[in-house]
Chain A
């Protein structure tokens, strides 16, 4: 092949390893696991994020402190450390029967889901908080003036508006979650990046395997980003100047 000759490397390309033999299935299984892991993680992280993000803005100090503690504690530690902690460390404190039940129901996958959700929930919380804080206070005051309780005002008015404002940074965070799902390979989850390594150990075709993995992630990320770009344009609130822009990574 011209490339190898040019760089002087001895390498024998064999792209068929990606779809033939027993390893043909692996990439597909890996993609499926990654999607399952990311979707579950995303749903839980969004719930945690909305809850804690909103709590950080309510006019009630104990709830604010609680939510802030959650965010600051989980956000500042690397996700990899959390994954090890949730998989190897945390189940130790559960009672024995709970541990036994967990052990036969895919502990690797569920520890990864918990780890991803809690970590990204803390990060989502920051995005949602910024969104809520960019809404003029007058909206809350007006809602309360019409007779809604603070809780109802948040649930029916503030949060829906905030969600429409934060689509760009929220998309960023969601894509981060998708990319971070690759870390689950360290605790035994057979997701996409794990599968590219697996193909490589069986066939020694690292270049093909890594290229496949890279292309799939690129397609997923760029695809989701462009779809969300359309969604954001559709849901844009005209007349509201505050558009929460740059996301925190």
Chain B
């Protein structure tokens, strides 16, 4: 019933705002007003955001977003509801710019062109793009994909780079990772391209991990950051502070261990380079 009334309310609000106009407010003001912090995250990208065997929505990026949530509650001094919405490479920028979500915490790569329309937090993960193939495939990396069928997600950096660097590759684009990966499993495409860590997540969660191989050197550098609306420095400070405190205080590494440690969902030891890089992002208090 409440949902039904909200539809009527939308109609009224649309008419009302059409007349009165709508003053742009900052994200912190919006969260304060509505009492809800909405995060856009993935549903099929283990272990950053995915639906596990118990059909629960969990992930490393979701856990990090919850640290931000705690920081928000402290800053605004009141309890705030935490909500998740599904976002995919094709939908995350519109979701953010339209105000449907306040933060994208998933697998979004921080790039300079994207910084024209969004702001990013500190980098919270470092990876690069690779290819996923069936064991026994002749593809060894980006040099082999000309003329081959390559699946990718609509709107991803991978799609754009392949289109520019290897136009002879036959790109088949799907709305999300679930469909793109299933197409590979079914043999509809020869390879699936995405960031290495996401491919590793798919491989480890596949019914038969030994069937899959991740090949190729990183053909692009993909630093993951949390994305938010432009020119929102107060909110950005809250997000960055939460991340910095987590890295400094060790909470981040505990979460990393939970998901990527030897007993985690996807064992992926952190190199010293990456550890130093993360620590150096923490500016003094």
Q: A202 to B161: give the CA distance in the assembly, Å.
A: 12
| Chain B residues whose CB sits within 8 angstroms of the CB of A201 once the complex forms | 89-90, 93, 154-155
What residues of chain B lie closer than 8 Å to A92, measured between beta carbons?
186
Give the Cβ gap from A12 to chain B, nearest Cβ, in Å. Answer: 11
Q: Is residue A107 contacting chain B, with contact meaning CB distance below 8 A? A: yes
In chain A, positions 145-182 with a C-beta closer than 8 Å to chain B are none
The contact string, 1 if C-beta is below 8 Å from chain B, for chain A 1-20, is: 00000111110000000000
Contacts A6-B18, A197-B90, A206-B94 known; A99 to B179 CB distance under 8 Å?
A: no
- Assess whether A232 is interfacial by the CB under 8 Å rule: no
Scan residues 50-106 of chain B and give those whose CB is less than 8 A from a CB of chain A.
Answer: 89-90, 93-94, 97
User: Cβ of A91 and Cβ of B186 under 8 Å apart?
Assistant: yes
A186: interface (CB < 8 Å): yes
A229 at the interface (CB under 8 A from B): no
Report if A6-B93 is in contact (Cβ < 8 Å); known contacts: A88-B182, A187-B179, A201-B154. Answer: no
Interface membership of B21, Cβ < 8 A: yes
Q: Is A204 an interface residue (CB 8 A)?
A: yes
Chain-A contact segment, one of B29-37, B167-175, B266-274: B167-175
Shortest B185–chain A CB gap in Å is: 9
Question: Are B93 and A204 neighbours in the complex by a CB distance under 8 Å?
Answer: yes
Q: Measured between C-beta atoms, what is the minimum distance from A94 to chain B in Å?
A: 11
Q: What count of chain A residues pass the 8 Å CB interface test?
A: 28
CB neighbours of B204 from chain A (8 A): none
In the complex, A108 has a CB within 8 A of chain B: yes
Say yes or no: is A185 at the interface (Cβ < 8 Å to chain B).
yes
For residue A108, which residues in chain B have a CB less than 8 angstroms away from its CB? 172, 188
- What residues on B are CB-neighbors of A134 within 8 Å? none
Our pick among B17, B23, B97, B149 for the contact of A204 (Cβ within 8 Å) is B97
B155 / chain A contacts, CB cutoff of 8 Å: 201
CB distance from A161 to the nearest CB of B (A): 44
Q: Decide: A188 and B94 in contact? CB cutoff 8 A.
A: no
> Smallest distance from the beta carbon of A211 to chain B beta carbons, Å?
15
* B21-A188 in contact (CB<8A): no
Question: What CA separation (Å) do A186 and B151 show in the bound complex?
Answer: 13
Check: A214 CB closer than 8 A to any chain B CB: no
**Is A190 an interface position by the 8 A CB rule?**
yes
Indicate if the CB atoms of A186 and B186 lie closer than 8 Å.
no
CA distance A5 to B172 in the complex (A): 40
Question: A103 on the interface (CB 8 Å rule)?
Answer: yes
Residues in chain A near residue B183, CB distance under 8 A: 88, 188
B112, chain A: closest CB distance, angstroms = 15
Residues of A within 8 A of B117 (CB): 204
Whether B23 pairs with A198 at a CB distance below 8 angstroms is no
Instruction: Give, as a whole number of angstroms, the nearest-CB distance from A112 to chain B.
Output: 13
Bound together, the chains give a CA A83 to CA B17 distance in angstroms of 40
B residues apposed to A, CB below 8 Å = 17-18, 21-24, 89-90, 93-94, 97, 117, 149, 151, 154-155, 160, 172-175, 179, 182-183, 186-189
User: Can you offer 26 A-B residue contacts whose CB atoms are under 8 A?
Assistant: A6-B18, A7-B17, A7-B21, A7-B22, A8-B17, A8-B22, A8-B24, A9-B22, A88-B182, A88-B186, A100-B187, A103-B188, A104-B149, A108-B188, A186-B179, A187-B179, A188-B151, A188-B172, A188-B173, A188-B183, A194-B154, A197-B154, A198-B173, A202-B160, A204-B97, A204-B117
